[in-house]
Amino acid sequence: YRRYALDNDLQIKVFETKKRYGNNLPLELKKQLYNDMPSEKLPNILFQNGLNLDFKEKAKDWGLADFSFSNGAAQGDLDNDGDLDLIVNNMDENAFLYRNTTSDRQLGNFLKVKTKGNHSEPFAKVNIAYGGKSQVMESKRVRGYMSAQDPTLHFGLGKNRLIDTITVTWADGTTESKYGIKANSTIEFDIKDANKPDSSPKKPKTRFEFIDANSLGLDFVHAENFYDDFDTEVLLPYKQSTFGPFISKGDINGDKRPDLFIGGASGEAGQLYLQNGQGFTKLKSAVLEADRQYEDMESVFFDFDKDGDQDLYIVSGGNEFGANSSYYTDRIYLNDGKGNFTKFVSKVLTAFPKNGKSVSTIDFDKDGDPDILVGNRVIPQNYPKFSPSALYENIGGQIKEVTSERAPELLNFGIINSIITTDFDNDGWDDFIAVGEWTNIGFFKNNKGVFKMVQNNPLLNERGWWFSVHETDVNNDGLKDYIVGNVGLSLKFKASEDKPLKIYANDFDDNGVNDVVLSKKYHGEYVPVRGRECSSQQMPFIKEKFGSYSEFANATLNDIYGEKLNQSYENEVTELNSILLLNKGNGQFEKKILPIYAQQFPLMSCVFKDLDKDGYDDIILAGNLYEMEVETPRLDAISGLVLRSNGKDGYEAVPYASTGLYLNGNSKNITWVSLANGDFLLDAVNNDRLNAYKLIPN
């Protein structure tokens, strides 16, 4: 196989040749092009499944790492000894035939199942159950490019010597079962012997049921406004303008029932919903409608003016407006006690508006007035350069920014995606935790009204693409633990202490536009993550400096950007896993990586509830990120994963099939609501309708 697809220089040469000769390409020229193609034999790869998404590369250990140009493979028990042998087709040389020696070494038992349908591809599904375990396979001959294999299904059984049940389900719905089958045998099934099931299969009992949110009176549909972040910032890792929507809860009319506010995108007013016990009723608000051009981020209900009702603070964000645009002004709406809101005008908030994301109330000085913490994100259109975050003191219903005096380290903390108020040391004073992209985990200790970031714990210095932080107590020991949500492991990038993922930002081509450079370590040198094509779209000098793709591919960051690299904004990520910080007391925390299934999606939101009634709070995790740059697949795994507390020091994943909770779409925020007819999980989805799931009691 000639690596034409991976060599952009040769692609251009082929394109120009085809353009010149059309379909009349001379044979000698065709041979020359073929011989010019870069050529490198590579070993094939084989992964051993260690369960729970743990795969180890074993081709070399198992004798399969011969170098070749391979383009097809098929397997089958060629010597009828009970294990699968392997045939690999190669270009320009003989095929490889690998004999499997598993049976010779008596490493495990097997079962073969042959299915005879009405045609060559019956697509029979075979389930086997043995020793409290089960496996399922579907009969399918096709494997790889122009490859087909023995349709016999082969099951590895380990040391088990008896199969309790074998059930074959054919494509027409008929089934047949056989029982008490000995291991190391071959069993045949014929569709002619199958029968229709006596009744339709029972739907397995699950914990959640999807319902139409409209049936609860929640007709909210998020409508993301169009803005192409990549138009000016080609090398962004993902769009910065599509974070919402977010949900907040508070009793706005004094009836003791939590009501809802759901934020809107720019051009769409946020919506208030009054709870009526059985559901919700939309409450129209002229003042929110008037502010529809703002992009709503997180919000919080609290009694700002201490008149006994719940006022509303909404963070304004996005990326579409210029720096310090008035549309980044955070807003406070005062409640008259009946759910009618008026806008509170503050010169402090309107002075230098910043692109925000997260908010939390805090009484840092114990004066009884709820103060306000706001976590801000990027300077608009200048990723990853950040807007300073803020601490606002509430002085009798007026606000004053006191960040420099009370929390100076917050100003330079970085891009903040989540900020929470918590007393992590149980000293009676409100502390706070902030996390974000390219940041450490910021524990800010309250020293009687002045905050100092904790520095003596190396664990908190790990940098990530942190999206959320939530307080819990996994083992009910009275010490606060924390779930810290990261981007996860579905991202194509990797990061560690030894090989961090780095980012640089500067106006590298002196055109007045901020340029972003992502980098990884390769053979001891830092090299660009993005290719010559995308990089030169952002910085045209690259195409002039490196005339070929090959030259660019062999260049280090220093070769490309020179001295300007040393003058750039620089940061890095060393951890991509979402984690549990287990509180050990005395200010010490232990890092526990969440189960691998929790690493399939970015953890942007989570809620806590004791779902199995064992006395310990379990977690539901949510989040997705559809807006990745063009060379990176979107992060769109099905979220809604339930983690069950082990009551000690961590969690175990509950299968989706057991919970029935599948959060489809670009999920951004989840929350619980309790009504007279049950508990419901609300899922706020970007550019889509609100989803609802009813919790089915045990």
pLDDT in tens, 510-531: 999 999 999 999 999 999 999 9
Alpha-helix residue ranges (DSSP H) falling in 539-663: 541-545, 549-553, 557-561, 656-659
CB 580 within 8 A of CB 592: yes
How many Å apart are CA 120 and CA 79, to the nearest integer? 23
Secondary structure (3-state) at 545: helix
Q: Which domain-ending residue is among 514, 549, 573?
A: 573
547 Cβ contact list (under 8 Å, min separation 6): none
Q: What's the pLDDT at 1?
A: 39
**By C-alpha distance, which of 671, 689, 599, 682 is closest to 635?**
599
Q: Is residue 198 part of a domain?
A: no
Tens of pLDDT, residue by residue over 56-101, are 999 999 999 999 988 888 999 999 999 999 999 998 899 999 999 9
State whether residue 514 is helix, strand or coil.
Answer: coil
- Same domain membership, residue 512 and residue 646: no
DSSP string covering 341-373: EEEEP-HHHHHS---EEEEEEE-TT-SSS-EEE
Tell me which of 573, 593, 623 is where a domain ends.
Answer: 573
Q: How far apart are CA 178 and CA 187, in angstroms?
A: 9
pLDDT band at 201 (very low <50, low <70, confident <90, very high): low
Do both 338 and 369 map to the same domain? yes
pLDDT at residue 471 is higher than 80: yes
Considering the domain architecture, whether residues 307 and 385 belong to the same structural domain is answered as: yes
pLDDT at position 149, please?
A: 86
| Average pLDDT of the segment spanning 629-652 | 95
Shared domain for 319 and 431, answered yes or no, is: yes
Q: What is the pLDDT of residues 561-620, one digit of tens each?
A: 999 999 999 999 999 999 999 999 999 999 999 999 999 999 999 999 999 999 999 999
Q: What is the pLDDT of residues 647-677, one digit of tens each?
A: 999 999 999 999 999 998 999 999 999 999 9
Tell me what the mean pLDDT of segment 134-142 comes to: 91
CATH code, 90? 2.60.40.10
Instruction: Give the pLDDT mean for 610-635.
Output: 96
Cα-based angle 397, 400, 405 (whole degrees, multiple of 5): 140
Q: For the stretch 1-17, what's the b/e string if a residue is b when 16 or more beta carbons lie within 10 angstroms of its beta carbon?
A: bbeeeebbbbeeebeeb
Amino acid at 474: V
Count the alpha carbons within 13 Å of 439 in the hemisphere toward its beta carbon.
Answer: 34
| Placement of tokens 């190391």 in the chain | 184
Does the pLDDT value for residue 145 go beyond 80?
no
The fraction of the chain above a pLDDT of 90, given in percent, is 87
Q: How far apart are CA 606 and CA 671, in angstroms?
A: 8
Checking if the pLDDT of 492 tops 50, the result is yes
Query: pLDDT at residue 204 above 80?
Result: no
Question: 548 lies in a domain?
Answer: yes
Q: Are 218 and 682 in contact (CB under 8 A)?
A: yes
Instruction: Identify the three-state secondary structure at position 415.
Output: coil
CA distance 574 to 2: 36
Is residue 173 a contact partner of residue 98, using CB atoms and an 8 Å limit? no
pLDDT digits (tens, 9 = 90+) for 391-400: 999 999 999 9
* In the chain, % of residues over pLDDT 70: 98
- E strand map for 203-289: 208-211, 247-250, 259-262, 271-275, 280-283
DSSP-assigned beta bridge partners for residue 420: 433
The label of the residue with tokens 């579409």 reads 320
* DSSP class per residue in 71-83: EEEEEE-TTSSSS
Asked whether residue 682 carries a pLDDT value surpassing 70, the answer given is yes
Joined tokens for residue 463: 């940098």
Q: Which two tokens stand for residue 105?
A: 């070494």
What is the C-alpha to C-alpha distance for residues 418 and 232, in angstroms, rounded to an integer? 26
Q: What is the CATH number of the domain that holds 681?
A: 2.130.10.10
Decide if 521 is inside a domain.
yes
Distance CA 220, CA 312 (A): 19
CB distance 196 to 174 below 8 Å: yes
- Give the pair of three-digit tokens for residue 329: 């002004």
Strand order, beta sheet including 371-376: 356-362, 371-376, 390-395, 398-401
CB atoms within 10 A of CB 404: 12
Same structural domain, 307 and 371: yes
Mean pLDDT computed over 157-164? 96
167 and 251 in a common domain: no
Domain that holds residue 35: 8-40
Among residues 164, 193, 222, which one ends one of the domains? 193
Q: Is 318 found in the same domain as 254?
A: yes
Average pLDDT over every residue of 226-235:
95
Residues 33 and 126 in one domain: no
Are 102 and 28 members of one domain? no
The answer to whether residue 202 is domain-embedded is no
The pLDDT, as a whole number, for residue 441 is: 98
Residue linked to tokens 């691998």: 596
Torsion of CA 284, 287, 288, 294, to 10 degrees: 160
- What's the pLDDT score for residue 3? 52
Sheet of 70-76: strand order equals 70-76, 85-90, 96-98
Mean of the pLDDT values across residues 254-268?
Answer: 97
Q: For residue 3, is it within any domain? A: no
Vertex 671: Cα angle to 660 and 644 (nearest 5):
50
Residues 600/584, Cβ–Cβ less than 8 Å: no
Q: CA-CA distances (angstroms) from residue 663 to 208, 598, 667, 684?
A: 11, 14, 7, 10
In a domain, 199, yes or no: no
Residue with tokens 């609860």: 216
In a domain, 659, yes or no: yes
Cβ within 8 Å of residue 605, ≥6 positions away: 468, 485, 621, 622, 623, 667, 668, 669, 670
Q: Which two tokens stand for residue 184?
A: 């190391």
| 534 and 673 part of one domain | no
Residue 268 tokens read as 């769409």
Q: How many CA atoms lie within 13 A of 569 on its CB side?
A: 18
Q: Are residues 585 and 642 in the same domain?
A: yes
DSSP string, 450-509: -EEE--S-GGGG--EE--EEEEE-TT-SSSPEEEEE---S-SS----SSS-EEEEEE-TT
pLDDT of residue 135: 96
Q: Is the dihedral of CA 609, 611, 613, 614 positive or negative?
A: negative
Cα separation of 70 and 223, whole Å?
48
568/578 same-domain check: no
Checking DSSP bridges between strand 109-116 and strand 185-190, what pairing results, if any?
A: parallel
**Separation between Cα atoms, residue 50 and residue 31, nearest integer Å:** 46
Residue 203 lies in a domain: no
Cα–Cα dist 564/206, whole Å: 57
C-beta separation of 621 from 637 below 8 A: no
Rounded CA gap, 8 and 13, in Å?
9
**Which secondary structure element, helix H or strand E, spans residue 28, and what is its range?**
helix 27-36
User: Tell me, what's the pLDDT at 196?
Assistant: 86
Render pLDDT for 315-366 as a digit per residue (tens, 0 to 9). Answer: 999 999 999 999 999 999 999 999 999 999 999 999 999 999 999 999 999 9
Number of independent structural domains in the chain: 4
Mean pLDDT of all residues belonging to the chain:
94
Phi, psi of 22 (to 5 degrees): 60, -130
Rounded (10°) CA dihedral 323, 329, 330, 332: 180
